[in-house]
Structure 1
Amino acid sequence: MTFQDLRDYINFMSKSGKIIKIDDEVDVNLEIAEISRRATYLHLPPVLFTKVRGYKEWRVISNVFYSIQSVKEILGTQNLEDIGKRFLSSFSETPLTFMDKVKSLPSLLKLGKISPKMGKLKPKESNIKLTDIPAIKTWPKDISPYFTFSLVVTRDPETGVNNLGVYRIQILNEKEAIVHWQAFKRGSLASAKYKEKGITKMPIAIVNGVDPVIAFTAASPVPPGIDKYLFSGILREEGVEVTELDNGILVPSNAESILEGYVDLEDQRLEGPFGDHFGYYTPPAYFPVFKLEKAYIRESPIFHVTSVGKPPLEDAWIGKAVERIFLPFIKLIIPDIVDMNLPEYGLFTQIGFFSMRKNYPGQAKRLMMSVWGSGQLSFLKFIVIVDSDVNIHDLNQVLYAIATTVDPVRDVIIIPGTMNDSLDQASLNPPLGSKIGIDATRKFKEELGRDWPEEVSVPDEIQKKAIEIIKRITQSLPPS
């Protein structure tokens, strides 16, 4: 179903008995984060804090993406891959390359119901300051309170494409905050284009409290060049209602709060430490400063936060949904792939399992290179390639494939001096690190030097008889 805004979602969940209201007074300093984490680990429904110490007018919601099933419910499907297939079916049947299709998408869908629609802004202009908003402190040694699930809205100065990204934001004072966008994120890439044009004040908006489908889109690695409002419209099957701010940025009209201003690209300050999803504190590094010009707030506003830490927390279930939704995209770009598994405990940017239909020698290593050359999959530190009959969502099957097909000298490759996730504390000089690829496929004669041995098996009729006898035996046994 389509939610008009965050309140519509909360009302829907309340009617279903799936909102946990906490009326105890809680503190933004560690308490909200710890309660939220424990709720997520238990797969509890969203938590709505109704009494936040020092922030009388505000309510705070967390744990919106509390399980993979919750994401499916928000997106209105039980098969997430269907979303990616639906997106790709929006293209014409003309056999174009993937990038040709991406470039043609806006014109193909321009008049459709999924395009953004101009609307009236619901939040009202306010003299609120950054320090008046219930930003949370997640871990004891975090440098300050942070916005942890606010959306940073930017516009590409060359293409006009809108981007919504979830970047952590460190509150400095009443009017300033540091935006932690890494070098490969869309916001940072757009900032480089502004600098090339000699523009050092990059217009942005920091938005909080939106329809969870829009929030999900902001956290997703939508292919470059595709407008995230348009992609939200595809997920919602209805266009997002937007309003243009004075600085030219389009924002969701129904957001709970909107902070209009600019990022000063010449004002870089130390951000962090911050306890992130790796489960460690990120050491301080320089990032640009946001400077507030105007604020817009709804009456009795709701502030959306998330608590990060060791998996599986909300980012794990967002990541798992992203894996399924974007599998059709990946298979279009890399046809060798049958399936992929980015395990939640592998943090999505660190470990990836891929299955393939192997047709020729050396194909698995070729596939590794293709994966490392594809979008955010390029940050994977470990890649394991297995045959198509291996269930990559069963770790035991993957381990068995590694144990029975891999000779380390022949089948393991290590690549030094490549880009990994900049939050990876294991790298000597993040984001520069190294990668490892493991070819756990059965080997062709050209790879092994001899024919691959025959696997053990039993004729079908013997299997059938054995199954029938075992079934009869188990049914006759007393209950344990």
Structure 2
Amino acid sequence: MGYVCLSDCLADLESHGHLRRVDEEIDPHLELAAIQRRLFRAGAPAVLFTRVRGTPFPMLANLFGTRERLRFIFRDGIRAVEGLFKAKADPALLLRRPWRAAALAPGLVHMLPRRVSGAPVLACRCALADLPRLTCWPKDGGPFMTLPLVYTENPRQTGMMASNLGMYRVQMTGNDYAADEVGLHYQIHRGIGVHHSVALGMGNALPVHIFVGGPPSLTVAAVMPLPEGISELCFAGLLGGRRTALAGARHSSLPVLAEADFCVSGHLLPRLKPEGPFGDHLGYYSLQHDFPVLKVEAVHHRRGAVWPFTVVGRPPQEDSVIGDFIHEITVPLVPQAFAGVREVHAVDVAGVHPLLLALGSERYTPYEAARQPRELLTAAMHLLGVTQTALAKYVLLAACEDAPELSVRDVPAFLRHMLERVDFSRDLHFLTRSSSDTLDYTGCGLHEGSKLIWASAGEKKRNLAAEIMAAPNLPEGFAGLRVVMPGVLAVRGPTHALPRNAQDSALTALARMFASWSRRESFPLVVVADDPDFCADNLENFLWVTFTRSDPATDSYGADGRFQAKHWLCNAPLILDARRKSFHAPPLEEDPAVTRGVEALAAPGGALHGYY
């Protein structure tokens, strides 16, 4: 059976060597986050910090820091999840092997939340100021909850089956918040938005519970890309191997997660206040913007409560492990969720949403002499229409018929396959002024940017080169041409100083130069960067720089670029402007003094020697 509560999980981890304790006092302002980043990089165990400055509560780091630990934590429920997803993807499987239906039955029972009369989470009360206050990056607007479980229900259809359990960051102090207020930042395309919209339409404040801690399956459920109408509480019970316990609360119309460690209760007010900045998972700060405010009316916690936290930043981080875990268990559902799609990969090191790779079928016109994108375009529209894939900025699709062995998880091989086959007069399709990831500052404005569907199919068209050989004569202001990988070049461009939504005449001149270069077909992709050496140093740098610093519509140029019936096309090479723009958010950097301190803690004799 799964864990009843977080304390059960920690006891189990500690008995198996997956948890260590640190009893030296640690500062939650920058120091604790810097330690967590190092624990993750080192593949360290989970760590319980028993003395945290400014709070009576211990804080838990790196709980989901390794794939092995995730598998260990969910060993009681993972088979049930995998079995159910395989059956959902192929219902005929149960007809062919009916004994599997019996094996699924216990897991299905665990999906049904249960009502309990007592709630350990309501055992004690405290002030909002007593809670741990984690500040992760130097320019953060204040301390944040980084693993909050935000529970709401549809005001017109109350009850668990109309609920949403999501993970939306919570700013605890700073800016203009009163002592009994917190900022609730929920991004575009999130379930809580539907509930909040209904409440505002009724002229009411939306009741909200923010839980922290509890069975670890709740955390994974809160970030699962479940279809609207599917309860996260049901999935948490399935994954955790134990039914989710709900209890009534006198202070709220909403039920509480009985076995959570903390519960912050209140109402979303019908007004906004500035929230942020916050060092986010793209590797940059999300800047200060107006977001909803939660009026806090009660703070409860269980006896012996533990405050789990995570730290995000340029990937990979701990949330990358959770993302890979979710991808692994949802693989069987991809063809069912997206017709004509075999495999998808939201590339973590590129910030997840900026770059989505997909393998699909190309079966619409088998009678044509040469295969070209037809069905792939339908699949791309589907990917951009539902679930979290709708936030993708660059969507690259290949036809599985062209290379049956190709996998989207092998990013270099996938990119090479695309570059060998791309026809830039046909394969690029832009969606302008579309909805975009709230955290992405490359587009037209907050929540708004462009998308690029790049779908290529058919026979190989060119051979890619790994050496420049006859280098082109670059225009003034450009230098430092580097090979990133076969077929891809990086070049330094002049410092960007233009306003948002403006194309750069210097890049147009660069495209004209490449149009006459004899080797241009050997390098069909050119990236303009501030530091081409950094960009070309490794694949992770290239992906991060290219796709987090460019907007498809504004930053795409190409040899002989032109419009034909409103369709933009070009010849090779395609040029992407991945310079840092004047309106971009700043990248994340640690405080040097804090860095020295946490490195000293890991030195011989330090409290964290041997941890990282």
Give me the TM-score of the superposition, normalised by structure 2.
Answer: 0.66
Please tell me whether residue 71 in structure 1 is matched to residue 70 in structure 2.
yes
Q: 1:92 to 1:345 in 2, by over 3 A?
A: closer
Question: Which runs of structure 2 are paired with 1:125-204 in the superposition (5 Å)?
Answer: 125-160=123-158, 161-172=162-173, 173-199=178-204, 201-204=205-208
Identity of aligned residues (%): 25
Q: Among residues 250, 254, 260, which one is paired with 2:255 in the alignment?
A: 250
**Which structure 1 segments of 5+ residues have no match?**
95-107, 444-451, 456-480
Q: Among residues 427, 432, 442, which one is paired with 1:411 in the alignment?
A: 427
1:140 partner amino acid? P
Q: Among residues 366, 372, 375, which one is paired with 2:387 in the alignment?
A: 375
TM-superposition CA deviations, 1:112-133 (whole Å, max 9, x none): 3421111221134544221110
Give the distance between the partners of 2:422 and 2:284, measured in 1 at CA.
32
Q: Secondary structure at the match of 1:300?
A: coil
Q: Secondary structure at the match of 1:410?
A: coil
Please tell me whether residue 60 in structure 1 is matched to residue 64 in structure 2.
no
1:8 to partner: Cα distance:
0.8
1:144 to partner: Cα distance:
0.8
Q: 1:249 to 1:355 in 2, by over 3 A?
A: same
Contact 1:60 1:304 in 2 (8 A): yes
Q: 1:255 to 1:373 in 2, by over 3 A?
A: same
Q: Secondary structure at the match of 2:120?
A: coil
**Which structure 2 segments of 5+ residues have no match?**
93-104, 365-371, 464-612
1:43 to partner: Cα distance:
2.1
TM-superposition CA deviations, 1:191-239 (whole Å, max 9, x none): 001112221x211111111111111101222110111111212222331
Q: Among residues 422, 431, 437, which one is paired with 2:453 in the alignment?
A: 437
Please tell me whether residue 387 in structure 1 is matched to residue 399 in structure 2.
yes
Question: Which runs of structure 2 are paired with 1:314-353 in the superposition (5 Å)?
Answer: 314-353=318-357
TM-superposition CA deviations, 1:287-333 (whole Å, max 9, x none): 11111222222223211111111111122122222223333333113
Let me know the Cα RMSD of the aligned residues.
2.7
Residue aligning to 1:221: 225
Residue aligning to 2:444: 428
Q: Secondary structure at the match of 1:408?
A: coil
Q: Secondary structure at the match of 1:423?
A: coil
Question: Which runs of structure 2 are paired with 1:268-279 in the superposition (5 Å)?
Answer: 268-279=272-283
Contact 2:113 2:234 in 1 (8 A): yes
Q: Secondary structure at the match of 2:129?
A: helix
Residue aligning to 2:34: 34
Residue aligning to 2:307: 303
1:117 partner amino acid? R
1:85 to partner: Cα distance:
5.2
Give the distance between the partners of 2:107 and 2:323, measured in 1 at CA.
29
Runs of 4+ off more than 6 Å: 77-80, 108-111, 452-455
Contact 1:61 1:304 in 2 (8 A): yes
Give the distance between the partners of 1:274 and 1:255, measured in 2 at CA.
25
Contact 1:169 1:177 in 2 (8 A): yes
Give the distance between the partners of 1:110 and 1:18, measured in 2 at CA.
26
Q: Among residues 109, 113, 116, which one is paired with 1:116 in the alignment?
A: 113
Residue aligning to 1:19: 19
1:92 to partner: Cα distance:
11
Give the distance between the partners of 2:41 and 2:272, measured in 1 at CA.
36
Give the distance between the partners of 1:202 and 1:130, measured in 2 at CA.
20
Give the distance between the partners of 1:418 and 1:375, measured in 2 at CA.
16
Q: Secondary structure at the match of 1:27?
A: coil
Higher relative contact order (CA 8 A, sep 6+): 1
Contact 2:433 2:444 in 1 (8 A): no
TM-superposition CA deviations, 1:14-46 (whole Å, max 9, x none): 011011322221011001111011111222221
Q: 1:412 to 1:204 in 2, by over 3 A?
A: same
TM-superposition CA deviations, 1:335-360 (whole Å, max 9, x none): 31111222211222121111123223
Residue aligning to 1:474: none
Q: Secondary structure at the match of 1:335?
A: coil
1:90 to partner: Cα distance:
6.6
1:218 partner amino acid? A
1:429 to partner: Cα distance:
0.6
Q: Alignment length, in residue pairs?
A: 431
Contact 1:85 1:328 in 2 (8 A): no
Contact 2:226 2:387 in 1 (8 A): no
1:401 to partner: Cα distance:
0.5
1:406 partner amino acid? V
Contact 1:206 1:260 in 2 (8 A): yes
Q: 1:327 to 1:250 in 2, by over 3 A?
A: farther
Give the distance between the partners of 1:241 and 1:232, measured in 2 at CA.
11
Q: 1:261 to 1:400 in 2, by over 3 A?
A: same
Contact 1:46 1:61 in 2 (8 A): yes
Residue aligning to 2:215: 211
Contact 1:123 1:298 in 2 (8 A): yes
